[in-house]
Amino acid sequence: MKKNNFSFDNKITSFDLIYICFLYSTRLIRGFIYHRKIIGRGKGCNIYKSSLGRGVNIGNNVILNGIGSGGLVIGDNVSIGDCSVFKVSGTFIDIGRFIHIGNNVGIGEFSHIGGAGGVKIGESTIIGPYFSVHPENHLFNDLNIPIRKQGVSQKGINIGSNCWIGAKVTILDGVTIGDGCVIAAGSIVTKSFPDNVVIGGVPSKILKKRNNEK
Which residues are marked as active site? 138
CA distance 66 to 135: 15
C-alpha 109/C-alpha 115 separation (Å) is 18
Pair 104, 123: CB distance under 8 Å: yes
Residue 193's beta-bridge partner residues? 177
Length of the chain: 214
Distance CA 139, CA 111 (A): 25
Backbone torsion region of residue 97, taken as left when φ is above 0, otherwise alpha when ψ lies between -120 and 50, otherwise beta: alpha
Q: Give the separation between CA 211 and CA 214, rounded to whole angstroms.
A: 9
What's the order of all strands across the beta sheet hosting 71-74? 50-52, 71-74, 98-101, 119-121, 157-159, 176-177
CA 182 – CA 198 distance, rounded (Å): 5
What is the rounded CA–CA span in Å between residue 113 and residue 164?
A: 17
Contact 48, 62 (CB under 8 A): no
